[in-house]
Structure 1
Amino acid sequence: MKIKFLFIAVILMVAFGFFSFSKTNNLIINIEGNTIQQRFQTPAGFVRQAESESSFGFFLRNLPLKPSGSNVLYFDGTVKFNRNVYEAVVNLPIGKQDLHQCADAVMRLRADYFYSLKQYDKIHFNFTNGFRVDYSKWRAGYRIAVKGNKTSWVKTAKPSYSYETYWKYLETVFMYAGTASLEKELKTVKISDVQIGDIFIKGGFPGHAVIVVDLVVNLKTNQKMMLLAQSYMPAQELQILKNPNNGSINPWYATDFGSTLKTPEWTFSSSQLKRF
């Protein structure tokens, strides 16, 4: 009876991610690496192509990572229950509210990129109702007034250029935008033309989005592989996804996956690849 109970307990722990038996090519993962580029080595025969230091691709490739083995935390500080979803955790704060979810994380990375370059006028997103929210206007002291489905700007604050003001802008975007609105802002690209910064997205309620944060190519065959990152519900830290389909190249994903891309918590079609 005790042995049977122990067996059942182990099965349940595996199902909920307390133990992981997924295969990983340890040659690919450098546990001492502190960024995506440092942590994840290229698979045999593949190389990273150079990215301009001012590019979105360079920004994503050099995102900071928490120490190897770190758990993904929800917005309230609790641990994500399923450890089998991700290979690494991006070391960025996500706030204390249940707002930093899948599309929000993608928009945050895009905004953080422009913020790092001080290109503030390029930070803007649309609410689900289509209302465009420019960070430059927020910085100037304008805030959002929402009444039913009617949205407008109201001058209620002094101009501020602090990071705290920037984060409040982002959380307002997170509150009123999502996969449905973000999908409409993006243009469709072919999987053969995939670039770092492209997004697999299914708009809807619910929907989901994951972002390509690195890319390698085989110069002989022109085959490409990518790394994917996501947030999810409830709001949680960004995570580099495991590849549940091929442990020998985990966490890289081959881009010649056919019509369906299976990630640990969502399945996309190749036609759902988009770009800012």
Structure 2
Amino acid sequence: MKKLLALILILSVIGVIIFQQKPVKSTAKNLVVSLKVPNLLNKDSLTIKTRVNFPKGYKRVVYPKESFQEYLRNYKLKAFGTKIINYDGSEYYWQRGHIGILDIPVPKNGLQQCADALIRVRSEYLWDHNRKDEIGFNFTSGHYCAWKQYAEGYRPKISGNQVTFQKSTPINHSKENFYKYLNLIYMYSGTLSLYNELPKIENAKNLKIGDMLIKGGTPGHIVMICDEVINSKGEKLYLLFQGNTPAQSIHLVKNLEDSNISPWYPLKKNAVIPVSNYTFGASKFVQFK
């Protein structure tokens, strides 16, 4: 009898073990399936729009042709895998946070840092679309410096926080002089001046391509929205690009926090938003005028 009871007990234990193992295998299988991450990249494509597909259930927000939004969305990229290069030709130490390099040369003078990179993109759009009279930015001191004024020969005379403009050079509307103007802006403008100068976006639902996530300061940081998608619930996702310090290649960033939608980002005001190797602690947004 004791042997029979022992045998029944052993068989019962084996049965329990077999029963318990079935859901474990099923769970493991489900876990493997859930870890599959959608690949949203077209590595052979050479524009922002064609490099990145949108997640299932989303579609791109439509903008007019020739708009700043379409200009950014269709910006040319270098070949996939191109590395971020510093202004001095060296490789940037962090190469794991981007999925594309914008086809913009990095000046050797080291001036084109995070805010300057976006100033350049905006200024070149206005230049290319015959809106040169709209090119102008505030210095950190608050004084406005317009390309039109610079092209007519006026140069700033800076003494502490006091700035005056005096005509001191011949009129020159050339592209070469335009880049000299931008170098001046790079020297005396930055995230702090942009934050103080530009209109704030109070409702993140109103964000659009060309708007910027910013931490105004010295130092601060800034990134620009370069594509936008929406789903049937009205929820939006965005692509972001940035320059950085030291001056380096402008690059399209990954979303390192959510590989299921990377490189797309959800954006909310006052949220903590990690972007590549920088974290915005309480997100704020601005837009060019």
The correspondence of residues 49-198 of structure 1 with structure 2, limited to 5 A, is: 49-189=61-201, 190-198=203-211
How far is the alpha carbon of 1:271 from its aligned partner? Answer: 4.7
Identity %: 34
How far is the alpha carbon of 1:96 from its aligned partner? Answer: 1.0
How far is the alpha carbon of 1:109 from its aligned partner? Answer: 1.5
What is aligned with 2:251?
A: 239
What is aligned with 1:32?
A: 44
1:211 maps to 2:224: yes
Q: Give the secondary-structure state (helix, strand or coil) at the position aligned to 1:47.
A: strand
Tell me whether 112-121 or 256-265 shows the greater mean CA deviation. Answer: 256-265
Q: Do the aligned partners of 2:102 and 2:250 also contact (CA within 8 Å) in 1?
A: yes
How far is the alpha carbon of 1:107 from its aligned partner? Answer: 1.3
1:260 maps to 2:272: yes
In structure 2, C-alpha distance between the alignment counterparts of 1:84 and 1:229, rounded to whole Å: 14
- Give the aligned length: 253
How far is the alpha carbon of 1:34 from its aligned partner? Answer: 1.0
Q: Which runs of 5+ in 2 are unaligned?
A: 1-34
CA deviation profile, 1:158-208 (whole Å, cap 9, x unmatched): 222221111111110000011111101122211111110111111111111
Q: Do the aligned partners of 2:191 and 2:216 also contact (CA within 8 Å) in 1?
A: yes
In structure 2, C-alpha distance between the alignment counterparts of 1:250 and 1:24, rounded to whole Å: 13
Q: Give the secondary-structure state (helix, strand or coil) at the position aligned to 1:170.
A: helix
CA deviation profile, 1:25-61 (whole Å, cap 9, x unmatched): 5631111111101111111111112211221111111
In structure 1, C-alpha distance between the alignment counterparts of 2:108 and 2:37, rounded to whole Å: 35
Q: Which runs of 5+ in 1 are unaligned?
A: 1-22
- Aligned in 2, Cα 1:211/1:264: closer, same or farther, shift over 3 Å? same
Q: Give the secondary-structure state (helix, strand or coil) at the position aligned to 1:210.
A: strand
Q: Which has the greater radius of gyration?
A: 2
Q: Do the aligned partners of 1:223 and 1:255 also contact (CA within 8 Å) in 2?
A: no
In structure 2, C-alpha distance between the alignment counterparts of 1:116 and 1:25, rounded to whole Å: 39
The one-letter amino acid of 2:234's match is: N
Q: Do the aligned partners of 1:223 and 1:256 also contact (CA within 8 Å) in 2?
A: no
- Aligned in 2, Cα 1:151/1:196: closer, same or farther, shift over 3 Å? same
- Aligned in 2, Cα 1:146/1:25: closer, same or farther, shift over 3 Å? farther
What is the alpha-carbon root mean square deviation over aligned residues?
1.8
